[in-house]
Structure formats: structure tokens, C-alpha cells
Amino acid sequence: MRFDIVTLFPDFFTSPLQCSLLGRALAKQIAEVHLTNPRDFTTDKHHKVDDIPYGGGVGMVLKPEPIFAAVESLPVLPRREVLLMTPQGEPMHQRMFEDFSQNYDQLVLICGHYEGVDERVMDLVTREISLGDFVLTCGEIPALTLLNGVVRLKPGTVGKEDSLKFESFEESLLDYPQYTRPAEFRGMEVPEVLRSGNHGAIAQWRRDQQLEKTKRMRPDLYKQWSEEIS
């Protein structure tokens, strides 16, 4: 799977692309990431990528020409989405990551910056994506989040792929509590049922914990789960 990140700050991705699970996945060629800087496609001597907004207002707006040129320089794979990272977009969720991982060959991620991008850039964009209902300094942060969330679902990335089946949000429920050794720490003990060896009882306890935790911490998800099973 190919990721093309259109960013004014390619150095932002240097360390994350080399570290941990993501770095190993790229080394194994499970996915490939290419960084393209719109500034390299400017034609003026100052390499200007932003300008003041028409109609007045604070801040600067990213110009359309460098972004169009950057995106149009990229190869086009058959199953492709061009995503704009923006607070106005659809909030990321696990089902979105699964869809991208299973059904696409290429994701082009345009990282917004300053006060946003010229509206004409939307002619390139097939989908707007957000990290949540808040504003960040740049689109690189949500782009990295999406990259991580999608790549970790590709076969061969996670060592024990069965663990992906039992994660938070896989069926609109939060994960159950996890424990490891020692069995007792500062007066806090691992629940007896987890030490019982009774796999049926353990499975039921975990399910009960998932439901209770989701209902208490994320009533919106609990409602969604209830509607899905009804």
C-alpha cells in the first residue's frame, strides 16, 4: 500500500517513520511512504506557498498552485483516495481505518496549515478527514495518526494478528481491563477469575467488563453497540 504525504514539513515524519511498529512495517515493505513538499513546486524566487485571504481576515491561506502541482506529480494507483487533513472533515474512527486498509492501494494525504487551504484545492480532494473537533497547528499530526492506524491493520504488521480482533472499538465497545504479573502489587490484586484457568468464566468476565466500561465511559458507543445488535 502506498501513502503519499503532501507536507511543508517532511522532517516531521523522519523519526516516526523509523520507529517501532511503523518503522518495521515500512522496512518489510508492507507499506511505502513518500513525502512531497509543495514548496518544491513553487515558481517564484521566495518559494512562497501562502498568501493573504481575499476579503480580508487574519492569518495566511495555502495557495492552490503548489498543492495542485505536488499532487499531480504523484503516480495514480487504481484504488486511490486524496484526503485533506482538516478540522472540518469526518472524524477518524476504527471502521475508517479498516476500510482504507482493506480497500485502497494509495492514500494521498494533504496536510493543511496556517488558516487553511484555498478552496479550489477541494477539486483535488475526494474526502476531508479530521482528528477530532479541535484545531491543531498543522495537518501533519492527524496525517501521522491515520498512517499509523491504517498500516497497523495490514497483514504482517502486528506480530499476533489475532490481537487485532479483540481491540477497543472493534465492535463499538471499549477493551476489557488487562493485567500481568505480579498477581498482587501494593495491595491491589489481579481478579481471581483471571487466575482460575476457567476460560469460559474469563471470557464472560471480560465481556461483562467491556459492556460496563463502555456504558460508563462512552455512553455514545454503548448506544451505538446496542443499536447494532438489535
Across all residues in the chain, what is the average pLDDT? Answer: 93
Q: What is the CATH number of the domain that holds 62?
A: 3.40.1280.10
Kindly state whether residues 112 and 204 are assigned to the same domain. no
Does the predicted model carry a pTM greater than 0.75?
A: yes
**DSSP letter (8 states) at residue 70:** H
Using CA atoms, how far residue 210 sits from 98, 125, 169, 215, 217, in Å, is: 21, 38, 10, 8, 10
Count of domains observed in the chain: 2
Quickly count: other Cβ atoms within 10 Å of residue 109's Cβ.
Answer: 23
Coil/strand/helix, residue 228: helix
Q: Which own/partner contact pairs does 11-17 have at CB distance under 8 Å and 24+ positions apart?
A: 12/138, 12/140, 12/144, 13/140, 13/144, 16/144, 16/148
Query: E strands along the chain, which residues?
Result: 2-6, 32-36, 50-51, 61-62, 80-91, 106-111, 127-130, 184-185, 188-189
In a domain? residue 222: yes
Q: Of 103, 120, 151, which closes a domain?
A: 151
Kindly state whether residues 174 and 144 are assigned to the same domain. no
Residues 187-227 pLDDT 10s = 999 999 999 999 999 999 999 999 999 999 999 999 999 99
Q: What is the CATH number of the domain that holds 213?
A: 1.10.1270.20
Supply the range of the domain harboring residue 21: 2-151
Kindly state whether residues 121 and 86 are assigned to the same domain. yes
Reference 93, options 220, 226, 229; nearest CA is 220
pLDDT at 230 (0 to 100): 86
Kindly state whether residues 121 and 7 are assigned to the same domain. yes
Instruction: Indicate the pLDDT class of residue 1, thresholds 50, 70 and 90.
Output: very high
Residues 147-176 pLDDT 10s = 999 999 999 998 655 555 555 566 889 999
Kindly state whether residues 138 and 202 are assigned to the same domain. no
In a domain? residue 103: yes
Kindly state whether residues 172 and 147 are assigned to the same domain. no
Q: Of 89, 119, 151, which closes a domain?
A: 151
> How many residues are listed for the chain in this entry?
230
Kindly state whether residues 28 and 83 are assigned to the same domain. yes
Kindly state whether residues 24 and 57 are assigned to the same domain. yes
- Let me know: does 108 contact 80? Beta carbons within 8 Å: yes
Q: How confident is the model over 134-142, as a mean pLDDT?
A: 93
pLDDT at 8 (0 to 100): 97
Residues 57-89 pLDDT 10s = 889 999 999 999 999 999 999 999 999 999 999
Kindly state whether residues 217 and 142 are assigned to the same domain. no
In a domain? residue 157: no
Kindly state whether residues 78 and 191 are assigned to the same domain. no
Is there a cis peptide before residue 182, judged by omega within 30 degrees of 0?
A: yes
Coil/strand/helix, residue 137: coil
Does residue 20 surpass a pLDDT of 70?
A: yes
Kindly state whether residues 38 and 106 are assigned to the same domain. yes
